């Protein structure tokens, strides 16, 4: 059973360009969350998708947008890239544990984005 997979693993973009990152959740997981981790910081929540809808959003500008497909896979799009967008972008998939109110969360290996 494959875990959470992300692509690409590394990429370099120029300021002002646009980027799309992709995530395939763990099998059976219907909820996908995206996090941004800048160097020396903890991951920061960007947004979460469930049933193809953005369900929750963190404190990120509208330049950050996403999508979830019927097979639960997801994309993160960032427009008008800034140098400060350079970071590790992590995708996490989760599935609630029945009757517990808890959920098991799995992270992908991340996509390293460098903006020059």
Partner 1 sequence: RKEVEQDPGPFNVPEGATVAFNCTYSNSASQSFFWYRQDCRKEPKLLMSVYSSGNEDGRFTAQLNRASQYISLLIRDSKLSDSATYLCVVNPNSGNTPLVFGKGTRLSVIA
Binding site for partner 1 (CB under 8 A): 31, 33, 35, 40-45, 48, 50, 55-56, 58, 88, 90, 92, 94, 96, 101-103, 105, 107-110, 112
Work out how close the CB of 19 gets to partner 1 at its nearest, in angstroms, rounded to a whole number: 19
Token duo for residue 79:
């427009």
Q: Are strands 102-107 and 87-97 parallel, antiparallel or unpaired?
A: antiparallel
Work out how close the CB of 80 gets to partner 1 at its nearest, in angstroms, rounded to a whole number: 24
Q: Cβ closer to partner 1: 17 or 56?
A: 56
Token duo for residue 13:
């973009």
Q: Cβ closer to partner 1: 17 or 27?
A: 27
Cβ distance 74 to 67 under 8 Å? Answer: yes
Work out how close the CB of 88 gets to partner 1 at its nearest, in angstroms, rounded to a whole number: 8
Residues 6+ apart with CB under 8 A from 25: 4, 31, 32, 72, 73, 74, 91, 93
Q: Cβ closer to partner 1: 73 or 107?
A: 107
């Amino acid at each position: 059973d494959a875990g959470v997979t992300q692509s690409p693993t590394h990429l370099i973009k120029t300021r002002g360009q646009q980027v799309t990152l992709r995530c395939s959740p763990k099998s059976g997981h219907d909820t996908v969350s995206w996090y941004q981790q800048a160097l020396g910081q903890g991951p920061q929540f960007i947004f979460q998708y469930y049933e193809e809808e953005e369900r929750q959003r963190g404190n990120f500008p509208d330049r950050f947008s996403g999508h979830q497909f019927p097979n639960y896979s997801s994309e993160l799009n960032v427009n008008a890239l800034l140098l400060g967008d350079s970071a590790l972008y992590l995708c996490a998939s989760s599935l609630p544990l029945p009757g517990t109110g808890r959920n098991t969360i799995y992270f992908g290996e991340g996509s390293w984005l460098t903006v020059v």
